[in-house]
Amino acid sequence: MKEKINPFEYSGKILSALKPGILLNTYDEKFNSMVIGWGHMGIIWNQPTFTVYVRQSRYTKPALENTGVFTVSAPLEGGLSPEVMKVCGSQSGRDVDKASLFTLEPAETNNVPGVAEYPLTIECEVLYGRGQDLKRMPPQVLNAFYGGNPDEEDFHSAYIGLIKDAYIIK
Ligand SMILES: Cc1cc2nc3c(=O)[nH]c(=O)nc-3n(C[C@H](O)[C@H](O)[C@H](O)COP(=O)(O)O)c2cc1C
């Protein structure tokens, strides 16, 4: 069962869970989930959105490009389990099947399941995606995250996802 929510009423919970890690789920050839620690929930073009940042090397990156949809899963209390943090935060969907970690719950507006274990769920459709231009980064950011190299190939792309649905899986 799903209890529909206004995601902005849960923004405190979602954003405080974000820094330690929540899940960005995709479904291209298969279900996959990666930990994200960066993101924004807000308004752009008068629409409710959730924006995620994904490095070029992630298995998730072509899945987002190919499908244009994702779900975000966050815990209602506490954080991700150590195992989920390890597998989804450091291993690639190219090498491992992450679906076996979760009880998948079919989504309402796309084919990317949420996960019952982390029930706060936001379904998104990518409105806009763009790679960051490292040549325009402030030096401290370039140094901290991109090895000081403006030609670093493993930069992040931002994907602005239109929030299509939001609920708590019960
Ligand atoms: C706490 C935490 C936060 C992370 N945040 C991000 C993020 O916002 N963007 C990103 O590209 N990778 C992030 N990562 C790294 C990915 O989760 C990790 O590389 C993952 O294995 C990628 O999975 P995939 O290759 O199946 O897509 C984070 C990892 C951790 C542990």
- Probe ligand 1: pick from 15, 24, 35, max atoms within 8 Å of CB? 35
pLDDT tens digits, 96-148: 999 999 999 999 999 999 999 999 999 999 999 999 999 999 999 999 999 99
CB under 8 Å to 14, separation ≥6 — which residues? 7, 22, 41, 72, 74, 120, 122
Do 85 and 23 touch, CB atoms closer than 8 A?
A: no
Mean of pLDDT values over 154-168:
98
Atom of ligand 1 nearest to the CA of 19: 1
Any atom of ligand 1 within 6 Å of the Cβ of 75: no
State the Cα angle at 100 between 27 and 77, rounded to 5°. Answer: 90
Q: Which DSSP category does 116 fall into?
A: T
| Ligand 1, atom nearest to 32 Cα | 26
Q: How far is the CA of 36 from the centre of ligand 1 (A)?
A: 5
Of ligand 1's atoms, which has the minimum distance to the CA of residue 89? 17
User: Residue 94: which domain range?
Assistant: 2-169
Model confidence over 46-61: pLDDT tens digits? 999 999 999 999 999 9
**Ligand 1 center from residue 45 Cα (angstroms):** 28
Say which CATH number the domain at 40 has: 2.30.110.10
Check if 114 has its Cβ closer than 6 Å to any atom of ligand 1: no
How does pLDDT run across 62-107, given as a tens digit for each residue?
999 999 999 999 999 999 999 999 999 999 999 999 999 999 999 9
Q: How far is the CA of 159 from the centre of ligand 1 (A)?
A: 14
Tell which residue, 18, 32, 19, 165, has the closest CA to residue 92. 32
Does residue 56 line the site of ligand 1, with CB under 6 A?
no
Total of domains in the chain: 1
Q: Is the pTM of this model over 0.95?
A: yes
